[in-house]
Amino acid sequence: MATEQQGPVLPRERGELSAAIIRYLGGETTLPGSQAVQKADAYGEDLQLALYLTYELHYRGFAGVDAALEWDPALLGVRSLLENRFLDALRADATRHETVDDALADLLLEPVNDTGVSHFLQDEGELWQVCEYAAQRSLYHLKEADPHAWVLPRLWGRAKAGMAAVEFDEFGGGRAERVHAQLFADLMTDLGLDATYGHYLNSGSAQALATVNLMSLFGLHRALRGSLVGHFAAVEITSSPGSRRLAAAMNRTGAGPAAEFFYNEHVEADAVHEQVVRREVIAGLLKEEPQLEADIAFGIDATEHLESRLADCLLAAWRSDTSSLRTDS
What does the pLDDT look like over 26-52, one tens digit per residue? 999 999 999 999 999 999 999 999 999
**Higher confidence at residue 239 or residue 96?**
96
- Global pTM reads 0.95
- Residue 244: the pLDDT is 94
- Between CA 310 and CA 242 the distance in angstroms is 15
Q: How many CA atoms lie within 13 A of 222 on its CB side?
A: 4
CB atoms within 10 A of CB 103: 24
How many residues belong to the chain? 329
- Residue 110: the pLDDT is 60
Q: How many CA atoms lie within 13 A of 285 on its CB side?
A: 30
* pLDDT beyond 70 at 169: yes
pLDDT tens for residues 218-252? 999 999 999 999 999 999 888 888 999 999 999 99
Query: What average pLDDT score do residues 197-226 get?
Result: 98
Query: What average pLDDT score do residues 299-322 get?
Result: 97
- Residue 269: the pLDDT is 75
Residue 225: which residues within 8 A CB-CB, separation 6 or more? 151, 154, 155, 218, 292, 295
- Residue 274: the pLDDT is 86
List the single range of 58-72, 270-284, 298-312 with lowest mean pLDDT: 270-284
Domains of the chain, CATH where assigned: 16-92 (no CATH), 97-319 (1.20.910.10)
* pLDDT beyond 80 at 115: no
Query: What average pLDDT score do residues 201-221 get?
Result: 98
Q: How large is the greatest C-alpha to C-alpha distance in the chain, in angstroms?
A: 56
List the single range of 55-69, 104-118, 253-267 with lowest mean pLDDT: 104-118
* pLDDT beyond 70 at 5: no
Query: What average pLDDT score do residues 129-146 get?
Result: 97
* pLDDT beyond 50 at 329: no
* pLDDT beyond 60 at 316: yes
Q: Are 308 and 211 in contact (CB under 8 A)?
A: no
- Beta bridge partners of residue 66, listed in sequence order: 3
